[in-house]
Structure 1
């Protein structure tokens, strides 16, 4: 920002017409576009040529102008200018922005020889956005440069105070290298880690003139694994063979702070702290495929935590991948977690051994199945028996009905009425109704209902019938 402020002050001193304007800053990502408007007044309308200038050393370096159709756009076609006299406005468009487009620009008119009248000024900051994985490398280039390219991290607060640029340049030089060749300056950073994320400024020359902003984001590779107590796991971590094939690899467990205790390593040297070594942990480095394989056996709940596959260097550990491990309590055969280190016993007696839980469950299942089958067989047998009884009862009733003579009334049932053409000649129909079993000495009467008798009967006949025994017993 200091470089931008100095450039703006210099521009205002060279062009007094801009002193009444407030500085304007536009920030864009590489590949974005900038659309800018420069209004002008009626007094300047007669000056036909309008310019879009890049401010360099206090002067106008013409980018595009309205002087001719050929000059209305840049050579690569990314920057264009258009003068709309009806609106008294000059329109500027800059597309597919690049980091080298950063700088201070202004619209201007050309009233006389080698003189420019600025209309509006803007400071354009085009930044590079770089997304990287840990252990990746990056290279920032600045073409057409006649001097070394320097980059430093944006000033940050350290313990409540702003760190100096010198210390930040020095800290970056510890992890980066720069070189100049064939008119191009290059800054390279290798073995990136998440803590390298941030905003960087690049400058050229002995005065570190700012020319570029780089926004770097470094992401870590992660894995998640789950296992049961006394189980085993196997973890694989990949790396670039050309870059890290010969480097030593390590497996460490993350502790509080930034400490990662090494459990096993491919180096011939043992871990710095032998007490951190753990039995059942092995590491194997396949340099042909670029894979590190770590195995852990007989896991315990306390093994849960965060681990690193890491490069082991003299300066310390560089994380390759982060692994989160979660170890849960093992389940007993009954399906309950063994929270006290002992198998739970089902509530059938405390004397049962843990292995009997499964057998008891099987026995109970078999007994319930047998009871269910017995209930099903019993239900079927009862249904068949009931069906046979109903069928037998139906046959008896049919036989009784077929044995009765026509016209004979049985005790307890209504007599059957018979009628024919000859009945019309009789004085009345005779109904025989026996409601109960008569005794042998009781007579049997036959009554005629009034509705059944003729109004003027010519003959009336009476009959008294007596049985020596009941009708059914006589038939039998």
Structure 2
């Protein structure tokens, strides 16, 4: 360790989201007022001054700015203020406010040391793909194994490693890939077919002495869609789930029932080898149809019964198991006293335990899942049916020009009427 670091308190970690701003205040003693103030980074075991103020003149305040960095020295309040804007993941590292004598041959000394962690924050829907690139020092760390690990109570547990001989089990077997470009000094990690339980904090890291040394941190939020449906006994439920046909056309689609603490129990699935655009399968009161051209899975449950109440999934059926496309919470009260049948608007629900605050993820029309109810019973003449004509607008802002609906009035035919 450098002599300049001896006697310093352990560096405090400052975590910032990529694109945000770092503001750091470094107080100093009165006898240090005439020294030059700067901002330095620890590189190769030595402090490299990135920006420094000019010698103080008549004014009590001096300031220097270069690119995204600004250093301001107020000798009256004896305070150095450093501002770094538009932070990037590669800005992560050890930094300090520096002091240096105005003499040309003087060396900078650290005034206040911080460990800066600039993390990426990514929001995705279930079944989406996330791909991140992590830059490292190509010369020094070219031969060091790289890992992708997930933060937890026991530290960062590796899931993927660049060395093919590494054979530890990992939770995303078959859905994640790590690639290392030693010449460019870039590690690329791709996670596909995301599920809500994949939400968490991840590191690209160097695997030194069997301990991950962070290169870059990713905070991943994965939202699922949950729809609440209420129907009466003897009615028919029709649920439609959308998917990206370019990615999931050849995958079998499934309908399963989820009990608390248990895997989703398969009820019905389509056959991948079935010819044509529409792949249909039926078992008892349940039918499933996959429109592989449009990317629409339709599940129909007829003659609903009270025991059909529960939680269901539209899912992809892959070798590793079922991957949720959408969740449907169905309520079928006994008898016909359950009130009006309805399916609520889909809700975007983030995985419980996601890192930090949870925000609504971005909307993509290809990921929209929704459900409709069709009724076997004759509607009353006074009844009105409403429909949204453009499902792709479901999660946009509440602009009046985007809301389109129809009111359909039904008239009862006379008993003797024909045609």
* TM-score, normalisation: structure 1: 0.59
Distance 2:82 2:323 in 1: 48
Q: 1:295 Cα shift?
A: 0.6
C-alpha distance after superposition, 1:433-464 (max 9, x if no partner): xxxxxxxxxxxxxxxxxxxxxxxxxxxxxxxx
1:82 Cα deviation from its structure 2 partner: 1.4
Q: 1:73 offset after TM fit, Å? A: 2.5
Aligned with 1:253 (options 250, 257, 279): 257
- Residue 220 (structure 1) aligns with: 224
Partner of residue 50 from structure 1, selected from 37, 52, 75: 37
Q: Higher helix fraction: Structure 1 or Structure 2?
A: 1
Q: CA deviation at 1:117?
A: 1.5
Equivalent residue for 1:129, pick from 121, 125, 142: 121
1:119 to 92, 111, 118: 111
Deviations 1:144-168 (A, max 9, x none): 6524753200133xxxxx3784578
Rg larger in structure? 1
Alignment of 1:231-380 (within 5 A): 231-267=235-271, 278-331=283-336
Aligned mates of 2:208, 2:336 — CA distance in 1? 69
Contact 2:134 2:204 (C-alpha < 8 Å) held by counterparts: no
Q: Choose which of 184, 190, 198 in structure 1 pairs with 2:200.
A: 198
Segment of structure 1 superposing worse, 248-257 or 166-175: 166-175
TM-aligned CA distance change 1:105 to 1:310, over 3 Å: same
Q: 2:186 aligns with which of 184, 190, 204?
A: 184
Q: Relative to structure 1, is the Cα distance of residues 163 and 92 closer, same or farther in structure 2, using a 3 angstrom cutoff? A: closer
Note the alpha carbon deviations across 1:284-310, whole angstroms, 9 max, x for none: 111111100011111111011111100
Which fold has the larger relative contact order, with Cα–Cα distance below 8 Å and residues 6 or more apart in sequence? 2
SS of residue in 1 equivalent to 2:293: coil
- Measured at CA, do residues 172 and 252 of structure 1 come closer, stay the same or move farther in structure 2, by a change above 3 Å? closer
Task: Give aligned pairs, total.
Answer: 307
Contact 1:224/1:323 (<8 A) preserved: yes
Encode CA deviations 1:307-353: one digit per residue, 9 max, x unaligned.
Answer: 11000011111111111111123339xx9xxxxxxxxxxxxxxxxxx
Q: Secondary structure at the match of 1:100?
A: helix
Q: 1:29 aligns with which of 17, 37, 45?
A: 17
| 8 Å contact from structure 2 (residues 150, 200) kept in 1 | yes
Distance in 1 of aligned mates of 2:205 and 2:322: 31
Gaps of 5+ in 1: 1-9, 157-161, 270-276, 336-476
Runs of 4+ that moved beyond 6 A: none
CA distance in 2 between partners of 1:122 and 1:145 (Å): 21
Separation in 2 of the partners of 1:209 and 1:331? Answer: 62
Matched, 1:62 2:49: yes
The equivalent of 1:138 in structure 2 is 130
| 5+ residue gaps, structure 2 | 57-62, 162-167, 274-281, 340-419
Tell me if structure 2 keeps the 8 A contact 1:52–1:108. Answer: yes
Give how far 1:257 is off: 1.9
Measured against aligned partners, the alpha-carbon deviations of 1:255-304 in whole angstroms (never above 9, x if no partner) come to: 242322211110269xxxxxxx9512111111111100011111111011
Deviation at 1:194, TM superposition (A): 1.2
In the aligned structure 1, how far is the partner of 2:272 from the partner of 2:80? Answer: 71
Residue deviations 1:107-127 (CA, integer Å, cap 9, x gap)? 112236362221111112222
TM-score calculated relative to the size of structure 2: 0.66
| Contact 2:38–2:49 (Cα < 8 Å) also in 1 | yes
Q: How far apart, in 2, do the equivalents of 1:72 and 1:61 lie?
A: 16
Q: Which of 135, 149, 170 pairs up with 1:152?
A: 149
Cα RMSD after superposing both structures: 3.0
What is the CA–CA distance in structure 1 between the aligned matches of 2:330 and 2:8, rounded to whole Å?
Answer: 63
Whose strand proportion is higher, 1 or 2? 2
SS at 2:246 equivalent: helix
After superposition, what is the alpha-carbon deviation per residue over 1:163-182, rounded to whole angstroms, capped at 9, x for unaligned?
78457864267342122344
Post-superposition offset of 1:129: 1.6
Deviation at 1:205, TM superposition (A): 6.7
